[in-house]
A and B are shown apart, each in its own frame.
Chain A
């Protein structure tokens, strides 16, 4: 043990003399761990929030029985199934309006509620009696209580006039839902003896087949491992994970080059140790221990940084997720011990992987140095060929994914394969470029310039690959975000047809407002809207009621239409379908869709497809009057107004005064638009932040590689100095070389990045969100990114070059004196 400690002390003494190298190694490990664990922390946080939401008294994690055609079914079926041994528990779901706010109401039956419905908030024993017995309780999350402006114990009334049981905070409950006993829910929703679905628990015995008990009145919905939110947000998290992974690999590039250099420099030390009687096993063990110890330290620091990154990004992530998917994520970070363990684990694992080649070299190292001529040219050629072959294989995989891939994962797989292939082929590509340069060069110094650049290639290629990846992802993501942003703003212009939007507290107020507006001369048109919810093929679908008004015909954006589409909409037997729903259900213009409505199935001809960016739910747009006929419960609270611009502020003020409406209930178009764009911009804030991080890490990779190379390049530069080229000139040549390869790499990153953008827009977005955007290229942005990359390379190259320019001649002379 003592022996090992002494060997360790000797090995560690190296770092004392090479602090920059040590810092590089640590920075690589810290960067890799920090970004990876930061992203993991965010994902974990979001997932646990989804889990909470999903497990709310039996979400999709639990198998359920539903009626195939109707929203609710008689409670009698529940009893029938129980009496046949089916371990079912009834749930009634609906929406109620409290203080003008619509909120989900969930009626549960706590006695039969399966105990294994995920991590559902369980009712405490003592609470059960209070929950069930009159007056009962309304369980609510603390956030929701605050949103409702109510205190604990209050019993607010809903729009029908009935009162909720007293509110009671249940800390684990998800926001935006009220949970009451099923009996209470039936009364509040006016659905006596009706249930929405039955949760299936663990059977005690072997109950009879479903059909033999209830026929085809109910159908089984198998539990899915994924919640709807998870499915919707998958792409978002995959996106984050991809960035995390990218940064992780770039970090490992740094570690790899630092460890490689350290190993080369410590070779004589290792030999001396062995010559002095430290056994190979002892030295190798201590090498591994040293690496693991460093990885542990760096891993812990990385975790702290990761925590900081995650905490900094979380508010944006939460805003994105809320804006995009309506997913509620707590804004403060809570981390599980697994996260810390996994973070340290990944740091150690990454360090070992990055150091593997060096460690294997050390293990195979003979005690006696054998002087072998450095046949770098042959080695480099073999390496280039092998790597190019690997690149071709990866490209082959990419094309398979392109033609046969169906899923979102395949889309990301294609992206990954494209980038990996491009990274692998980069050195060969640069080699060909440099070789061409060398062939064309006539002056001796120029020839040396090209030849020497080629020799440097193997040392720089990892960093250049990192640069290529970071840059192309940047190009891709920026192009996608920009495309999305422009499309979105244009679409929003058309979509927000009315000038003023009003949301009344209830139907009565809605009617009163409409009445009042009739007498206002500045109001050119009153457009009533409405929304209802239903299910088509087991998926939640929103029905949007559109008023019949010329303004809509002119401006409301449609992607595809049948002839006379708007006219067909009026009678109420036709609908437009949102792009994402049309993709999901594979329904096109000319098809017919059957929508379950309270009065029976509602058949709708599809006469148009429209973009519905940012809506996680599928949507059908129908005539509003028809919607109210079919869904009489539809709240008639949404009103749009056409008003000339000058009269807007006055009208809004008058409305607010007359009906005590707050800012949420009445807003002008500009405000709504600004709010939408704000949400939209936050959506990509995280992507941009991670983008910048990744580019930064790639810059560090380049810097460290150049620093690493700088020392080993002295023997190459010293002869040139000896024959009369000044140090500043040498430095200038070095700088030019670095910038040249960085420029080549950046130029290659542009087409690759556009390819990435195309994949994101045409494959990933379509699979993830269900919409396809037009593909635009923004040349100015590309120039900007290349410039940024060059500046980063310049900064990275500057330090070693300055060192070279200032180097004492004696250091260069030493090269000749110390040759081994």
Chain B
């Protein structure tokens, strides 16, 4: 497979791949399967501390601050937006000063409505201040895109924060507030990606309420809805034979949240993972054998066939839904391309969420 496909949380590989590589050969996708020699290792049983863990972990190879929001505008029309900041270290070891710094930053921003999908990307080198993340007061930025806390931002909830980004033909500014603490995914924040030990540290804030303005082609609308932030860092999250993944974050109308993904392997098998988060914030892993993810319909986007409609069932929870995208053309044609867009679902439960498809 070619290396120009990146997984959602798979901003990795050499810096070569970062800025320009469209043909760089990578193992796994985009080098996610490279060995972690010299970088810090992900091991179970880590204790998370905040605000410290909101900030960067430069000893690990890769890291991201990833936010998606399902919104409606004042006319009731649904829309979604994405804001992502990736960090990658070109080499392990102590952080070098200035231009010699080994960190490279990349960001993606997108707005999706039923009739349009806009996206933009940004790159920066670390060490000079063009991009970075600070834990307290919280700030994650690249150029003029930022996700920023204030003096009173609560470390446990990471709330309130503001969010902004702009592209050629769109921009947005949101305020995000949550009244429940962040949620540790996997086993107390240890998220296993294969049976051979590949893993990441992973926590989320799925309870954001979002409010703000969205401008597409100079037309400004007020929007509100819910948002979900993922924080994840690792040094080798994927195994070399894992080719991509299908990932979902779901806001159930009951107030509960569901995170699901399956990692696809070269041999055609896949490994599903999931966490059920109750409306009050209790999280529970779902057994792999209890997850049924079935692609239902493909869309032709960017010369590829992508499974944008899904049938999902968790028999033990009497959960069975079918998901449809708001806009099947939500292709992120960035330096590393993937599909990422808002969805809605009905069945035993209903609600909205985000779907990401990588490695296709």
Contact = CB atoms under 8 A, between A and B. Distances in A.
Interface stretch (B64-72, B120-128, B291-299): B120-128
Interface in A69-93: 75, 78-79, 82-85
B16 A125 contact: yes
A181 B100 CA distance: 10
A75 B128 contact: yes
Contacts of A134: 96, 100
B38 interface: no
A207 B145 CA distance: 12
Nearest to A128: B16
A205 interface: yes
B16 A126 contact: yes
Interface in A477-519: none
Nearest to B171: A205
Interface in B7-47: 14-24
Given A83-B144, A132-B15, A111 B104 contact: yes
Contacts of A132: 15, 90, 125
Contacts of B100: 134, 183
Contact of A125 (B17, B120, B124, B125): B17
B201 interface: no
A129 interface: yes
Q: Which residue of B90, B100, B144 has the most chain A CB atoms within 10 A of its CB atom?
A: B144
A82 to B, nearest CB: 5
B130 interface: yes
B145 to A, nearest CB: 9
Given A75-B128, A82-B124, A205-B166, A111 B90 contact: no
Contacts of B16: 125-130
Contact of B21 (A111, A126, A193): A126
A83 B90 contact: no
B167 A186 contact: no
A571 B23 CA distance: 63
B15 A133 contact: yes
B98 interface: yes
Contact of B15 (A85, A129, A184): A129
Contact of A112 (B23, B90, B124, B144): B124
A112 B129 contact: no
A109 interface: yes
A110 interface: yes
Nearest to B100: A183
Contacts of A110: 19
Contacts of B60: none
Contacts of A123: 20
Given A82-B130, A204-B120, A129 B90 contact: yes
B290 interface: no
A111 B19 contact: yes
Nearest to B144: A85
Q: Among B23, B104, B128, which residue has the most Cβ atoms of chain A within 10 A?
A: B128
A75 B166 CA distance: 24
A186 B98 CA distance: 11
A792 interface: no
Interface in B83-122: 90-91, 96, 98-100, 102, 104, 120, 122
A182 interface: yes
Contacts of A128: 15-16, 18-21
Contacts of A79: 128-130
A78 B14 CA distance: 25
Interface string B117-161: 000101111001110000000000101100000000000000000
A707 B98 CA distance: 80
A75 B128 CA distance: 9
B168 interface: yes
A538 B348 CA distance: 70
Contacts of B15: 111, 128-129, 132-133
Nearest to A110: B19
| Majority secondary structure of chain A interface residues (helix, strand, loop or mixed) | loop
B90 A125 contact: no
A186 B22 contact: no
A112 B120 contact: no
A125 B21 contact: yes
B104 to A, nearest CB: 7
B161 to A, nearest CB: 18
A127 B18 CA distance: 12
A84 B129 CA distance: 13
Contacts of B143: 82-83, 85, 204
A134 B96 CA distance: 11
A183 B98 contact: yes
Contacts of B122: 204
B166 A204 contact: yes
Interface in A172-213: 181-184, 186, 192-193, 202-207
Contacts of A129: 14-16, 90
A523 to B, nearest CB: 48
A193 B120 CA distance: 29
Contacts of A182: 99
B17 A204 contact: no
Given A83-B141, A129-B90, A204-B122, A193 B19 contact: no
A209 to B, nearest CB: 14
Nearest to B170: A205
A79 B142 CA distance: 10
Contacts of A126: 16, 21, 24
Contacts of B171: 205
A445 B176 CA distance: 110
B264 to A, nearest CB: 25
Contacts of B144: 82-85, 205, 207
Most chain A CB inside 10 Å of its own CB: which residue of B17, B20, B167 = B20
B167 A205 contact: yes
Nearest to B167: A204
A84 B18 CA distance: 23
A133 B102 contact: yes
Contact of B22 (A125, A127, A193): A125
Contacts of A193: 98
B168 A125 contact: no
B21 A204 contact: no
Interface string B171-200: 100000000000000000000000000000
List the 5 shortest-distance A-B pairs measured between CB atoms, nearest first. A183-B99, A205-B166, A125-B21, A85-B144, A129-B16
Given A82-B130, A85-B144, A109-B125, 17 more contacts: A75-B128, A78-B128, A83-B144, A112-B124, A123-B20, A127-B16, A128-B15, A129-B14, A132-B90, A132-B125, A133-B15, A133-B102, A184-B99, A192-B98, A202-B168, A205-B166, A205-B168
Interface of B: 14-24, 90-91, 96, 98-100, 102, 104, 120, 122-125, 128-130, 141, 143-144, 166-168, 171
5 contacts: A110-B19, A111-B124, A126-B21, A129-B14, A204-B120
